[in-house]
Structures are given as structure tokens and as C-alpha cells.
Amino acid sequence: MSAQDQIKDKVTTNDVVLFMKGTKTMPQCGFSSKVAGVLNYMGVDYADVNVLADEEIRQGIKEYSDWPTIPQLYVKGEFVGGCDIFTEMTLSGELDTLLEAKGVTFDKDAAEQIRAHNS
């Protein structure tokens, strides 16, 4: 199976997927750590893909999304963005709206706490 096929399979068979450096329990870069930390805190059930473990996946995800950086977040097959976009969406409440619209369970109180802490 090609890297593109593996990526498509992962994105389409999981509600939420984070392509990241490291894993959700052991991120290996600050940006990946930030996104994984927020998702973990909010109780989002997501699949993590360690791009450091496979160079073809690492390059392939950039081509798949036409986005040059990692981490990359997908919700219900839709590319959401990288760390900066994810952070903006979290702080504005757009992430809550997206997750609710897509039927993804998360802790709304935790999301509010993040916004309160960052206001």
C-alpha cells in the first residue's frame, strides 16, 4: 500500500487524526505537543500518526493536504490545519463548533477552561 493510500485510509477510517512528530503520549516537537495536549485535555478520541517513524508518510502527508508543516489535524476526513490554525480555532470556539457539527465528543468545560486561561 502506498503512503498516499495509507494516509487516505487513516484519514477516512478515523473520526479525528493527528499527523504529528511523536505520539500523543510522547510528542517530539513543541507544535505537536501543543495540539496533542489540547486534544488530550479536551478528551477528544483521536488517532495519532508519528510521521518520524516513516519518511514516506512524513512527506506524503504534506502532499496529501498541500500543507507544508506538521502537525496536521483531520476531522471526519476534512483537513483542519496545523498548530496555528488549531490554536486560533480553539481560542475562538470554532473548534467546538466544528467538533459538534461533525458529531465528535469532547469535554466542553475543558474547552472553556482553555479559553478562560488564555484570555
> Binding site for [2Fe-2S] cluster: residue ranges?
29
Alpha helices, DSSP H only, in the chain?
Answer: 3-13, 30-41, 55-65, 83-92, 94-102, 108-117
Binding site members: 29
Tell me which H or E stretch contains 16. strand 16-20
**All cell numbers assigned to 63:** 502532499
Q: Is the peptide bond before 71 cis (omega within 30 degrees of 0)?
A: yes
